[in-house]
């Protein structure tokens, strides 16, 4: 069997694989993020609903096995991405960057002027990745119940 890596737009049929990839990829943050990531509450049914309501997703697979994914949705005239997830055994292969570039290409195809994301203040390594790809902080916000910022909103103009 060939060792083929494919990055493609996900469909509703991929919802279970997306949910499982997100859960396995975010597991390292369980008990470390305050408040806990809402990724832990992501379900196949919720992803089916999101995709039906206009959200999008990309999935990276090797020989048909999911390795990484990202979810997208229109936001404030831009394309927002979240749930960027790479399985532990697939880290270091450049999949996060490839998924982000796919999101940017999708935004350009749609004629959108930029791409947005949110990243936890507690995850400086993720902030560094996004900065290295041209994303810049546009604001900070607090999760409900917090009196201090817990998240950074970033944007890249295309």
> Mean pLDDT over all residues of the chain?
95
Angle, to 10 degrees, between the axis of helix 44-52 and the axis of helix 15-26? 120
Has residue 126 been placed in a domain? no
**Whose CA is closest to 138, among 85, 75, 71?**
75
- Give one DSSP letter per residue of the chain, joined into a string: ----EEEEE--GGGHHHHHHHHHHHHGGGTTTSSSPPGGGG--HHHHHHHHHTT-EEEEEEETTEEEEEEEEEEETTEEEEEEEEE-GGGTTSSHHHHHHHHHHHHHHHTT-SEEEEEEETT-HHHHHHHHHTT-EEEEEEPPTT-SS--EEEEEEE-
Q: Is position 143 within any domain?
A: no
Q: Give domain status of residue 127, yes or no.
A: no
Using the predicted structure, report yes or no on whether residue 31 has a pLDDT greater than 90: no
Ranges 25-39, 68-82, 143-157: which has the least confidence: 25-39
Residue 71 pLDDT level (bands cut at 50, 70, 90):
very high
Mean pLDDT of 40-46: 94
The answer to whether residue 66 sits within a structural domain is yes
Residue 2 pLDDT grade (very low, low, confident, very high; cuts 50, 70, 90): low
Tens digits of per-residue pLDDT, 85-124? 999 999 999 999 999 999 999 999 999 999 999 999 999 9
> Does the structure show a pLDDT above 60 at 1?
no
What is the arithmetic mean of pLDDT over 144-150?
94
Residue 145 included in any domain: no
* 134 part of a folded domain: no
Q: For 15, what's the count of Cα atoms within 13 Å in the CB-facing half-sphere?
A: 14
As for how many domains the chain has, the answer is 1
Domain boundaries, position 29:
5-115
Which CATH number is 67's domain given? 3.40.630.30
pTM: 0.94
């Amino acid at each position: 069997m060939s060792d083929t890596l494919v990055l493609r737009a996900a469909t509703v049929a991929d919802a279970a694989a997306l949910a499982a990839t997100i859960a396995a990829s975010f597991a390292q943050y369980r008990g470390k993020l305050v408040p806990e990531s809402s990724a832990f509450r992501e379900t196949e049914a919720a992803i089916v609903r999101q995709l039906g309501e206009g959200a999008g997703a990309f999935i990276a697979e090797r020989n048909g096995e999911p390795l990484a994914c990202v979810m997208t949705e229109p936001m404030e005239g831009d394309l927002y991405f979240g749930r960027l997830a790479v399985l532990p055994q697939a880290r270091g292969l450049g999949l996060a960057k490839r998924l982000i570039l796919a999101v940017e290409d999708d935004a350009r195809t749609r004629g959108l002027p930029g791409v947005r994301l949110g990243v936890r203040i507690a995850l400086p390594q993720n902030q560094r990745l996004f900065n290295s790809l041209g994303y810049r902080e546009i604001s900070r916000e607090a999760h409900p119940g917090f009196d201090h910022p817990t998240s950074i909103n970033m944007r890249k103009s295309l």
